C-alpha cells in the first residue's frame, strides 16, 4: 500500500508538470475562473434592470403623476411620453418593453370608488424583464394608489399588512447567485475536459508506451491523473471563489470555506473519474469533445443551477437527484448561502461519494483494458 501511494504521488507530480506546460489549458482555466465569472455575474441578470417604458397619460392628474414618478431607476428607465398611434409600431420594433396607458378620469373614478384600471402592454419576447416587470408595476401602482387614498382619509389602515423578508439575498441580486453557480459549472466542464485531455494526450503523443514499461499499475496511473487534474481545478476554483466572487463581485460567503473545499474535493473525484471513463471510450480528442458536450449539457440542465428541480417533471426530477452535479449544486447553495454544517449536507455527500466510487471503478476498469490493448 505504501508503494502504491508513493507511485501515485510521483505520477501525480508528472501530471501536474504536464498540465502546467499546456499553455492552452492553463489559459482556459485562468479565463474560466476570472473573466468568465465576472462577465456572467455582471452581464447576465435575472432581475428587472433598465427596462424601457413609455406612458400614455390621458388623465394628467395628481394620481397619474404619482404613478409616473414611482417608475424609477435602476429598475426602469425614465418613462417617455407616447401617442396612441405610435404604440403599435413602437412595440413591434422593440423600442419599449412596457407601455402604460392611464385612462381619462382615472383619479376621479378612483376617488369615487369605481375601481378604474391601468393598462400595461408588455413585450413578452423579453421574457424575464416582462414577467418580473409586470409584477413590479402591479405592486408599485397598488401601493401608490393606497397611499394616495389614505392621505385623503378615504381609506382606513388595512387590518393585515404583508411584509416580505428575503433571507440570504435580501436585495435579490442575481450576481450573488449566478457567480457561484458559474463556478460550479466551470468546475464540472473543466474537470471532464482536463482529465480527458490528459488520457488522450498520452495516447496521441505515444507517451503511454513509456508508462507501460514502468513498474506501475493501471490503478496508480488512473488515480494520478484524477488527483492531479482535480487538484488544479480545486485550487483555481477556491481562489476564484475568494478573490473574484467574494472580492471583485462582492458576494458574501456565509458558510465555511473549508467545508466547501472538502465537499468540492469529493465532487471533483467523482467528475474527473467520469471524465477519465469517457476518455477511454473516445479514440481521439474531437470525438471526446462530441461525447462530453451532451453529457455536460444534460448534467447542467438537470443540476438545478439553471432550472429549479421543483419545476421539472417528477420522473426527470428523480433522475436528476441521482446525479452528483445536482447534489453539488444543492450543497454549494446550502454552505455558501445558508451557512449549513456537515449534518445538513450529509445526504448530498453520500450520493456524491457513491457516484464517485461507481465512476472510478468504471474508469479504472476501462483504463486497465485500454492499457492492455496498447501493450
In-domain check, residue 157? no
d(CA 18, CA 199) in angstroms, rounded, equals 12
Q: 3-class DSSP state for residue 118?
A: coil
| pLDDT score of 157 | 53
For residues 219-250, one letter each, b for 16 or more C-beta atoms within 10 angstroms of the residue's C-beta and e for the rest, the string is bbbbbbbbbbbbbbbbebbbebbeebbbeebe
Residue 135 pLDDT: 83
Instruction: Note the pLDDT of residue 19.
Output: 81
Domain that holds residue 107: 53-151
Q: Considering the domain boundaries, does residue 164 fall inside one?
A: no
Q: Do 145 and 188 belong together in one domain?
A: no
Same domain, 79 and 186: no
Residues facing residue 100 across a β-bridge: 55, 120
Q: How many residues does the chain have?
A: 375
Is 166 inside a domain boundary? no
In a domain, 204, yes or no: yes
Domain closes at, from 117, 151, 185: 151
Whether 330 and 183 map to the same domain: the answer is: yes
The pTM score is 0.77
Q: What is the pLDDT of residue 284?
A: 81
Q: Is residue 165 part of a domain?
A: no
Mind giving me the DSSP string for 222-241?
HHHHHHHHHHHHHHHHHHII
Helix (H), strand (E), coil (C) string for 1-21: CHHHHHHHHHHHHHHHHHHHH
Omega before residue 74 within 30° of 0, cis:
yes
CATH code of 69's domain: 3.40.1710.10
- Report the distance separating Cα 110 and Cα 107, nearest Å: 5
Q: How far apart are CA 272 and CA 179, in angstroms?
A: 22
Query: Does the residue 159 lie in any domain?
Result: no
Distance from C-alpha of 295 to C-alpha of 283, rounded to nearest angstrom:
17
Distance CA 62, CA 60 (A): 7
Do 210 and 329 have their domain in common?
yes
**What span, in angstroms and rounded, lies between the C-alpha atoms of 332 and 345?**
9
C-alpha distances in angstroms, 106 versus 72, 82, 138, 143, 152?
21, 18, 16, 16, 16
Q: What is the pLDDT along the chain (375 residues), one digit of tens a residue?
A: 788 888 788 878 888 888 888 888 889 889 999 988 988 887 766 677 788 899 998 888 888 898 898 888 888 889 999 998 898 888 888 889 899 999 898 888 888 888 888 888 888 887 777 778 888 888 888 888 888 887 777 665 555 566 677 777 777 677 788 888 889 889 999 988 888 888 887 776 666 666 666 677 777 878 888 888 889 999 999 999 999 998 888 888 888 999 999 999 999 999 998 988 888 888 788 888 888 888 888 888 888 887 788 888 888 889 888 899 999 999 998 998 888 889 999 999 999 999 999 998 888 888 777 767 665
Q: Are residues 350 and 287 in the same domain?
A: yes
User: What long-range pairs does 8-15 form, CB within 8 A, spacing at least 24?
Assistant: 8/220, 8/223, 8/224, 8/227, 10/224, 11/216, 11/220, 11/221, 11/224, 11/225, 11/228, 12/224, 12/227, 12/228, 12/231, 13/228, 14/224, 15/198, 15/224, 15/225, 15/228, 15/229
Last residue of a domain, one of 105, 120, 151: 151
pLDDT in the model for residue 187 = 92
Residue 167 lies in a domain: no
pLDDT at 159: 56
Number of domains in the chain: 2
- Give residue 262's pLDDT: 93
99 and 32 share a domain? no
Clarify whether residues 323 and 224 are in a common domain. yes
Identify whether the C-beta of residue 100 lies closer than 8 Å to the C-beta of residue 118.
yes
Q: Cell 476570472 identifies what position?
A: 34
Same structural domain for residues 105 and 246? no
| Whether residue 64 sits in one domain with residue 34 | no
> Residue 163 falls within a domain, yes or no?
no
Amino acid at each position: 500500500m505504501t508503494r502504491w501511494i508513493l507511485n501515485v504521488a510521483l505520477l501525480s507530480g508528472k501530471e501536474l508538470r504536464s498540465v502546467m506546460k499546456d499553455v492552452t489549458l492553463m489559459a482556459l482555466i485562468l479565463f474560466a475562473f476570472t473573466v468568465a465569472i465576472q462577465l456572467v455575474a455582471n452581464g447576465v441578470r435575472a432581475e428587472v434592470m433598465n427596462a424601457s417604458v413609455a406612458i400614455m397619460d390621458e388623465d394628467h392628474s395628481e394620481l397619474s403623476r404619482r404613478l409616473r414618478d414611482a417608475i424609477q431607476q435602476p429598475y426602469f428607465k425614465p418613462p417617455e411620453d407616447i401617442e396612441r398611434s405610435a404604440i403599435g409600431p413602437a412595440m413591434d420594433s422593440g423600442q419599449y418593453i412596457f407601455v402604460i396607458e392611464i385612462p381619462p378620469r382615472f383619479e376621479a373614478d378612483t376617488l369615487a370608488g369605481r375601481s378604474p384600471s391601468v393598462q400595461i402592454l408588455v413585450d413578452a419576447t423579453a421574457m424575464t424583464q416582462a414577467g418580473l416587470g409586470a409584477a413590479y408595476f402591479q405592486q408599485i401602482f397598488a401601493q401608490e394608489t393606497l397611499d394616495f387614498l389614505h392621505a385623503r382619509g378615504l381609506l382606513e389602515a388595512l387590518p393585515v399588512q404583508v411584509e416580505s423578508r428575503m433571507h440570504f439575498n435580501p436585495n435579490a441580486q442575481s450576481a450573488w447567485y449566478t457567480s457561484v453557480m458559474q463556478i460550479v459549472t466551470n468546475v464540472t466542464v473543466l474537470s471532464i475536459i482536463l482529465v480527458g485531455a490528459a488520457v488522450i494526450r498520452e495516447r496521441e503523443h505515444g507517451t503511454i508506451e513509456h508508462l507501460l514499461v514502468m513498474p506501475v499499475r493501471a490503478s496508480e496511473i488512473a488515480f494520478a491523473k484524477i488527483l492531479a487534474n482535480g487538484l488544479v481545478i480545486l485550487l483555481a476554483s477556491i481562489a476564484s471563489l475568494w478573490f473574484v466572487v467574494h472580492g471583485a463581485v462582492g458576494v458574501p460567503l456565509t458558510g465555511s470555506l473549508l467545508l466547501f473545499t472538502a465537499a468540492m474535493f469529493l465532487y471533483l473525484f467523482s467528475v474527473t473519474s467520469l471524465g477519465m471513463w469517457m476518455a477511454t471510450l473516445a479514440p481521439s480528442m474531437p470525438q471526446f469533445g462530441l461525447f462530453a458536450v451532451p453529457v455536460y449539457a444534460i448534467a447542467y440542465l438537470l443540476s438545478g443551477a439553471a432550472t429549479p428541480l421543483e419545476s421539472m417533471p417528477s420522473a426527470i426530477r428523480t433522475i436528476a437527484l441521482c446525479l452528483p452535479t445536482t447534489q453539488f449544486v444543492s450543497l454549494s447553495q446550502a454552505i455558501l448561502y445558508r451557512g449549513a454544517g456537515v449534518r445538513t449536507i450529509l445526504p448530498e455527500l453520500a450520493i456524491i461519494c457513491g457516484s464517485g466510487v461507481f465512476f472510478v471503478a468504471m474508469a479504472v476498469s476501462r483504463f486497465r483494458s485500454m492499457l492492455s490493448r496498447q501493450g
